[in-house]
Structure 1
Amino acid sequence: MKQLRIALAQINSTVGDFEGNVRLIIKNIDRARNAGTDVVAFPEMAIPGYPPEDLLLKSSFIDANLRALDEVVAASKGITVVVGFVDKEEELHNSAAIIHDGELVSVYHKIYLPNYGVFDEKRYFHPGDSCPVYEINGVNVGISVCEDIWYDTGPATVQASGGAEVILNISASPYHHGKHHSRERMLGSRATDNVAIVAFCNLVGGQDELVFDGGSVIFDEQGNLISRAKQFEEELLIADLDVEGVFHSRLQDPRWRKEGQKLECDCPTDRITVSASRQDSLRAMLPKQVTPLLESDAEVYKALVLGTRDYILKNGFGGVIIGLSGGVDSSLVATIAVDALGPESVHGLIMPSRFSSPLSAEYANKLATNLGIKAFTVPIEMAYSAYLDSLSEVLCNTKPDVTEENLQARIRGTLLMALSNKFGWMVLNTGNKSEVATGYTTLYGDMAGGYAIIKDVPKTLVNRLCRYRNTQAGFDLIPEAVINRIPSAELRPGQKDTDTLPEYDLLDPILLAYVEEDKGVEQIIAQGYEPSVVKKVVRLVDTSEYKRRQSPPGIKITPKAFGRDRREPITSKFREGG
């Protein structure tokens, strides 16, 4: 039987950590070699890390990436390696190196350069113009990079038409909630359309706002899922591919040849021999490994934990500090931080004011006890009174309003930053997407922080994630009373979020339609929402862009995160709906 033993190494690279990335790559090459693997694949840009952004404009960065590639080549004795790097000719290319037995055999240049959403590859790279088919251990393999596989009649079809029996795609496909479903549907379609085995190796880990979810997969020529790696974890996925099945399926279904069809990618298909020898008779077939997908809330929670861990650790912070209000947002952020970093690295600061309910401190301390973190209490009354006294002459003829409310938030932000400076703890911001979208935040107050974990998590999802985590814990890790509290900033007597905003069960679907789906006011009203509510929400979103531009980075969870995906001007006279 014609086989190919393939290993997909979904690793957690760090941008610019050439020494660490190479060490990780070589470790997995050794593991794959010891498992008798014919070819081991690593993600897109595994050597320099992804996305390196404007580091690509530095020649020293490109040269360091090429030196690191040389180290990987030297470590490839007795095995074929496919690894992502930056190639330099007259232009830069996002590339896959095809290496065998200590030699760089060939380089594939990515053809389709995404320039939408979080991607900006046309700023840096020149597209490739060739779709080679590589013979690896007697099997014809079409190699491509990330975006290339997303086109119906792109490089995969060109390579299959040129004889490729296996399509190997190395990728750095960033996560958003539910993306794996559409990605796997697409990969299954590529397999059936081209009657070829499709192997997809994805990056895993956090990089600034982005999280890469792994979940590397293999589909057979009939579109059946035959192997899947874990989500949000590093893993070396090894599988035996029954290439003989491709030959028989193609005999029975000549439609795959698609003679005369218009291809999106019109590139020459050269044949390049990497390794012609075969070892099929020397080994038994490995059992199939298909890791189940996570359910919806578990998937989001794991993304938040991974993104938090990598941001804090890769940037060298010794710990984090969080303002604990006794509310659901700060409770979720603290819980995620503990799961990411351990309780010894997480610290809480409780800052009651004259308007704080006694329950707030009680709930915050209960959470800290449940999580095993140290919490400090620093009342803000003295500072607040001093501020009011200092401003009394200037404000003497005015009525108290949001100005006095925001002073409290800014005092809290100052205290958090003071402890950050003193102990090297990064401040974790606790604002959720519903608040960030509508500007229900205080500049230089509760917006202070180095990283905003739930910046892209709507309030209704915050509540679900708290309940999910409690279910996993087997008890109310986050006190049930916290989840059931009426949301309040507690900056004036009897204050509730609904004094300013619609109920979150109403607000979040409107935000989804306007921010995520780009629907206009009339379209949203046509869905059955009260016109005055829709217009108010849209106005709040539009007029709060100047605040969002000053907010800390946060983990991308939705298809359209503020900053990375949704980029609108601050200065604009255009208003949706007039």
Structure 2
Amino acid sequence: MKVGIGQINARVGDFSANAAKISDACARLARGGADFAVFPECAVSGYPLGDLVGYGRFVEAAQAALSALAGTLPIPAIVGCPRLDGGPAGARNSAYLLDGGKVSRICDKMLLPNYGALNDSRNFDPGRDFGVAEICGKSVGVTICEDIWTLPSLPTAPRYENSPRPLEYFSDLKRGGGRLDLLVNISASVFSTANDTVRRRGGLLCEVSRTAGVPLVWCNLVGGNDAVVFAGGSGVFDASRAEPASKCLKKFEEDALAIDLDSLDGYDGDAFDFQGDSDLKRAIVMSLRDFVGKCGIRSVVVGLSGGIDSALVAALAVEALGRENVVGVSMPSKFSSSHSRTDAAALAENLGIEFHTVSIEKPVEAVEGALAGLFAGLPRGVAEENIQSRARGLTLMAISNKLGHLVLATGNKSECAVGYCTLYGDTNGGFAPICDLYKTEVYRLSNLVNREAGREIIPQNTIDKPPSAELRPGQKDEDSLPPYDVLDAILRLHIEGFKSASEIVAAGFDRAAVEDVLGKVARAEYKRSQYPIGPKLSAVAFSTDRKIPVSIKRGLQ
């Protein structure tokens, strides 16, 4: 038997376009000899859906597209689509068999995640019945994403101790002599560097196959939807034999492949485990490309300070959108160093992008003049420094309004964590590509950009010079922050590890530094609540995962 896997990039709510992708991929798979095809979770509607499923018209339109799709497919196909239901949430996340123009529901998703970037239990009711379909004379068990992630080795397993477990059901069915030839999982598995299903995906999927006692067909969504990234990397994994075998699809791009289950040979699953900085970069590029494209925008504008954050954002934007769709703007003030201006210009030349210089000195002088009476007798300080950042934010938003470019925010996770950013200044933007990258990761990816290009894209001086906001003479980031390798280590323990100050000190860090950093993190919570969305990359991204109230008594976390 040959099974076709159609790994598509679905846009939420674009039912006709998603259905067309499914139909086209299914036709290609049929020409490749596939007996039946498998498509991702919510392939017709896109995913995640959030509260859209509360609107009956949305789900009805998805179902209408599903029905129309059925008549276009040359071979049977398993396809994901939401449906309306009379339960408390009013909807279920379902898998359907489309065969000969007919639509048959196989099962509903049983295990509904409510952690990280996903909140399925808010929007869907859980399934009640295990799914088995007869396809091409084979008995096929069908599951949806989380339904198979109950392996004892996974940290998610205890969440479902009192829930029906499809993987265990199919394992018991096979071991008890029941008829089961194949297990299918249609998925929208969120990319995260800390997610076991990303870091060691090949081994885990083989473990699922071994547990079920049959080959596993795993079809994952690919693409970016708002802050969520799906990496693809679908495939067939067979550990029901003496020597595990697999055949995988590409990561971070659409792909379709017909795989012969009877001649599966060799194991390539390790290549689809997490590949470090290379995967981080590809995830950001895909996320940015999809956000801009799915929002119907063509071009972006980036404020180029001569620093490493804006340089990396510009380089990633060119890779995602093409140099003709990226505009760089240098906005010097009297505190801007000569090397910042020349580094910004050199970056723009290396990237081949449109580049402009707009001085902010006159706007800053105008604002300071307007406030002179109110501020009379008071020493200059952060308020005056931030006027510069806000003048830059105003300039970029004016360009955006006039010319239609989306402003990209250039803040990294380290600076967002400690509030080293200015509201309505460098926090302005519609998308923040590196908001879940720590500063040390920004340096690594900047060097990766140059290595992959085989030439200097990001000027070496930008990488080597001490980071500075340049809002006052001689300013350096480390005047008020620990070195970034120390800062990032503290932040990881606190944000992703949920460690308190005393626990971080016990891990070997200076108490004064830890308390200062954690105080900054707490005070900046209100800033982060207003920051643009960007791709979730880590275990705890500010844009999707961290849920800390703003108006709290500080020092308790």
Q: Same fold (TM over 0.5)?
A: yes
The 5 Å alignment of 1:63-212 reads: 63-77=60-74, 79-91=75-87, 92-152=91-151, 154-162=165-173, 163-177=179-193, 179=195, 180-212=198-230
The 5 Å alignment of 1:42-61 reads: 42-61=39-58
Question: Which of 257, 275, 280 is the aligned partner of 1:237?
Answer: 257
Contact 2:182 2:215 in 1 (8 A): yes
| Structure 2: distance between partners of 1:132 and 1:432 | 44
Distance 1:412 1:420, change over 3 A: same
3-state SS in 2 of match to 1:348: strand
Deviations 1:179-210 (A, max 9, x none): 32243332221112222211111000010011
Q: CA deviation at 1:295?
A: 2.7
Q: CA deviation at 1:28?
A: 0.8
For structure 2, the residue ranges without an aligned partner over 5 or more in a row are: 152-163, 174-178
In the alignment, structure 1 residue 350 sits paired with structure 2 residue 346? no
| Structure 2: distance between partners of 1:225 and 1:484 | 46
3-state SS in 1 of match to 2:296: coil
| Structure 2: distance between partners of 1:502 and 1:164 | 58
The 5 Å alignment of 1:247-326 reads: 285=263, 290=268, 292-293=271-272, 295-326=275-306
Deviations 1:453-493 (A, max 9, x none): 10110000000001111000001111111101100000000
- Amino acid in the other structure paired with 2:552: S
| Structure 2: distance between partners of 1:5 and 1:575 | 59
Deviations 1:278-310 (A, max 9, x none): xxxxxxx57779483463111000000000000
Q: CA deviation at 1:34?
A: 1.2
Q: CA deviation at 1:154?
A: 2.1
| Structure 2: distance between partners of 1:442 and 1:475 | 33
Task: Tell me which residue corresponds to 2:407.
Answer: 427
Q: CA deviation at 1:59?
A: 1.1
Contact 1:239 1:288 in 2 (8 A): no
Q: CA deviation at 1:89?
A: 3.1
- My pick for the range that moved more, 99-108 or 227-236, is 99-108
Give the aligned length.
531
Contact 1:145 1:171 in 2 (8 A): yes
3-state SS in 2 of match to 1:418: helix
| Structure 2: distance between partners of 1:542 and 1:160 | 47
3-state SS in 1 of match to 2:539: coil
- Amino acid in the other structure paired with 2:549: P
Question: Which of 207, 227, 232 is the aligned partner of 1:214?
Answer: 232
Q: CA deviation at 1:132?
A: 3.1
Contact 2:33 2:258 in 1 (8 A): no
Contact 1:109 1:129 in 2 (8 A): yes
Contact 1:427 1:448 in 2 (8 A): yes
- The structure that has the greater radius of gyration is 1
| Structure 1: distance between partners of 2:183 and 2:358 | 60
Task: Tell me which residue corresponds to 2:158.
Answer: none
Q: CA deviation at 1:317?
A: 1.2
- My pick for the range that moved more, 102-111 or 542-551, is 102-111
In the alignment, structure 1 residue 486 sits paired with structure 2 residue 502? no
| Structure 1: distance between partners of 2:265 and 2:202 | 21
| Structure 2: distance between partners of 1:495 and 1:55 | 47
| Structure 2: distance between partners of 1:50 and 1:543 | 34
Identical positions, percent: 41
Contact 1:142 1:156 in 2 (8 A): no
The 5 Å alignment of 1:452-491 reads: 452-491=432-471
| Structure 1: distance between partners of 2:142 and 2:466 | 54
Question: What is the aligned-residue RMSD (CA, Å)?
Answer: 1.6
In the alignment, structure 1 residue 226 sits paired with structure 2 residue 246? yes
- My pick for the range that moved more, 466-475 or 568-577, is 568-577
| Structure 1: distance between partners of 2:124 and 2:358 | 52
For structure 1, the residue ranges without an aligned partner over 5 or more in a row are: 243-284
3-state SS in 1 of match to 2:192: coil
| Structure 1: distance between partners of 2:168 and 2:256 | 27
Contact 2:3 2:258 in 1 (8 A): yes
| Structure 1: distance between partners of 2:265 and 2:121 | 41
3-state SS in 2 of match to 1:452: coil
Q: CA deviation at 1:178?
A: 5.4
3-state SS in 2 of match to 1:456: coil
Contact 1:228 1:289 in 2 (8 A): no
| Structure 2: distance between partners of 1:226 and 1:469 | 31
Distance 1:289 1:71, change over 3 A: farther
Deviations 1:541-566 (A, max 9, x none): 11111000111111111111013111
- Amino acid in the other structure paired with 2:170: Q
Contact 1:156 1:167 in 2 (8 A): no
Distance 1:377 1:339, change over 3 A: same
The 5 Å alignment of 1:561-572 reads: 561-572=541-552
- Amino acid in the other structure paired with 2:138: V
| Structure 2: distance between partners of 1:225 and 1:360 | 53
| Structure 2: distance between partners of 1:187 and 1:88 | 31
3-state SS in 1 of match to 2:472: coil
Q: CA deviation at 1:431?
A: 0.2
Task: Tell me which residue corresponds to 1:13.
Answer: 10
Contact 1:5 1:239 in 2 (8 A): yes
